[in-house]
Amino acid sequence: MNGLSQMGSATLLVWHTIRQLKMINLWHVFQQMAHLGVDSLPIISLTLLFAGAVMTLQITDVLITYGAQSTVGGLMAVAMGRELGPILVGVVLAGRVGAAITAEIGTMKVTEQIDALRVMAVDPIGYLVVPRVVACMIMVPILAFYGVVIGIAGGYFVATAIKGLAPSTYLDSIQMFSTISDFTLGLVKSSVFGAVIALVGSYKGMETKMGAEAVGFSTTSSVVTSIILVFVLNYFLSTLLY
């Protein structure tokens, strides 16, 4: 019964969020885009750079052994655009952004600031949830595209500087084996991941019990739930889109 109650509450939150989209506050959205998106650039850069570098490090020797060194760049581009870019950015932001959203809204719930908003006739969902959802849906695809470029660049450095592959071979294989859809459909997945991360973070924050310990519990639950949903949705979206 508790699980059914949580599903009902989450469904209502999604429904009210959709209804409030027509009254969106652009200033709040821009604030959240800067806070949740721009501030995540350093960790996205490091994560995707070394992910692309280590993947290239592992596959280049195998491909060279079988005479397929001309496919290294294309393989990296397709892997990054379709899967690694969106999924790694989703997981990283589930940890950083999802936790931040839950902690912020959860603290407001514990200190009764959300009740104060209701007293002032301000809808907490329209004021707190909607700007974060819209900001994540916009910024996560942008960060994913940025991450894909950084990952391919990391692979380029390893392939050319460490493995001795010709730069033209790496770049030409990207043009030969990858298509625009490999990148655009990955951005569609990223937008869905962004909405899920923001909604889960907001829901866990709104449902926080009273007490400082409850905020920590909600934050941990938000991160775990978001990461699981990112992986599950990634499978179904990949099946549908590709």
- Ranking 73-77, 177-181, 207-211 by mean pLDDT, the lowest is 207-211
pLDDT band at 1 (very low <50, low <70, confident <90, very high): low
Structure confidence at residue 226 (pLDDT) = 93
pLDDT of residue 31 exceeding 80: yes
Is pTM, for the whole model, over 0.75? yes
pLDDT of residue 195 exceeding 90: yes
pLDDT of residue 72 exceeding 90: no
Closest CA to 203 of 100, 106, 92, 89: 106
Closest CA to 47 of 147, 149, 188, 165: 147
Distance, CA of 171 to CA of 161 (rounded, Å): 14
